[in-house]
A = this chain, B = another copy of it.
């Protein structure tokens, strides 16, 4: 349903949502998200191209979200990597279907609609605000390590990592 690349992008964005005021270096992101560093670097470039994150090179560089985590939904992330497209006209171009979809493509379109509806209802902020027992990417050891090593670009937001 979702590609490996999309899964990795969702992990990276969730990770960055914990630390909106910091630049997070790619190696730390790779550790937190358990994504191969070279693969992650390409995913981050894609996310930056879609203006979801901002990167800075060099010592103390890394990535941060391009806007507030309340303003980024899972659908924004999915759309940057593998857009979910609604079906608006017959994919076979059959003239006698007119504007109406056949039942096959109605079903496929309904599935797309439900996928979109699920992902657009979830912001990155809601993931990290979760009061439940588990949070995205929160391996206790990794988050401790992460907090000690990420670069700072502003005041700490006091995000709980554990």
Contacts and interface: CB of A to CB of B under 8 A. Distances in A.
Contacts of A11: 92, 104
Contacts of A140: 96
A92 B32 CA distance: 9
Number of copies: 2
A94 B139 contact: yes
A134 B101 contact: yes
B122 A107 contact: yes
A86 to B, nearest CB: 10
Chain A interface residue number, banded:
35 or more
A148 interface: no
Contact of A138 (B33, B98, B102): B102
Contact of A2 (B93, B95, B108, B134): B108
